[in-house]
Chains A and B, each alone.
Chain A
Amino acid sequence: GAGVSQSPRYKVAKRGRDVALRCDSISGHVTLYWYRQTLGQGSEVLTYSQSDAQRDKSGRPSGRFSAERPERSVSTLKIQRTEQGDSAVYLCASRTGDSSYNEQFFGPGTRLTVL
């Protein structure tokens, strides 16, 4: 079956512009994460959201980063007023909701370069 997909795979943005990155998670997965990966410095979680038929809990980071979940298996990470330090690979991951230790399935990432 289809795994987690992300688009675009590569994005170049001028400093100060807004960007939007898309993630299509695995159908049926409840929790969706966005990570920022910088090789050599590890990865940090930016936000996560849990959704089921009754509610949608979104972890919204403060500042310029926000995530929306227009559909249960779709998330959009928005970065406002991009800075050069935002250049990184942005990874999306999803998992089922049964346990915190359930495997997270990752997409291939979007490499963002801010000029």
Chain B
Amino acid sequence: GNSVTQMEGPVTLSEEAFLTINCTYTATGYPSLFWYVQYPGEGLQLLLKATKADDKGSNKGFEATYRKETTSFHLEKGSVQVSDSAVYFCALIKAAGNKLTFGGGTRVLVKP
């Protein structure tokens, strides 16, 4: 079956530090890949997505590249802000399906 594995948190950073959250997946075919973010007290929000190999999704300074050869979709941001403190979820949708499969989530805390 499909699965998504992401690094466990919490990840604690200082403001302006570089952030990487690793994500790898297992799926047959060519899934679409997503990063969702959940801010405190709010619902999941789509952060970025990539629908085919070598695509790069980007939004709000975050980037992730769909790497089929390593089945990875690592999330990066060059300079984090306190407002980036949230839980980040990597997810996939299989080509033929419509249900998201999520990783376990990574809590990120950015300190001033």
Contact between B41 and A108, CB atoms less than 8 A apart: yes
Interface residues of A, CB < 8 Å — how many? 24
Residue pair A100, B98 in contact (C-beta under 8 Å): yes
A45 interface hit (Cβ, 8 Å)? yes
Bound CA span A73–B19, Å: 38
Interface string of B36-63 (1 = CB under 8 A from A): 1000011111100101000000000000
A39 to B89, CA, bound (A): 10
Given contacts A42-B103, A48-B99, contact A107 B32 (CB under 8 A): no
Q: Are B100 and A35 in contact (CB-based, < 8 A)?
A: yes
A77-115 at interface with B (beta carbon < 8 Å): 91, 93, 100-101, 103-109
Q: Cα distance A35–B89 when bound, in Å?
A: 14
Q: List 11 A-B contacts (CB under 8 A).
A: A4-B43, A31-B98, A37-B102, A40-B8, A42-B89, A48-B99, A101-B93, A105-B43, A107-B43, A108-B43, A109-B43
| Chain A positions near chain B (C-beta within 8 angstroms) | 3-4, 31, 33, 35, 37, 39-43, 45, 48, 91, 93, 100-101, 103-109
16 further interface pairs, Cβ-Cβ under 8 Å (given A104-B100, A106-B36, A107-B43)? A4-B43, A33-B99, A39-B87, A39-B107, A40-B104, A41-B104, A43-B102, A91-B43, A100-B93, A100-B97, A100-B98, A101-B49, A105-B43, A108-B41, A108-B42, A109-B43
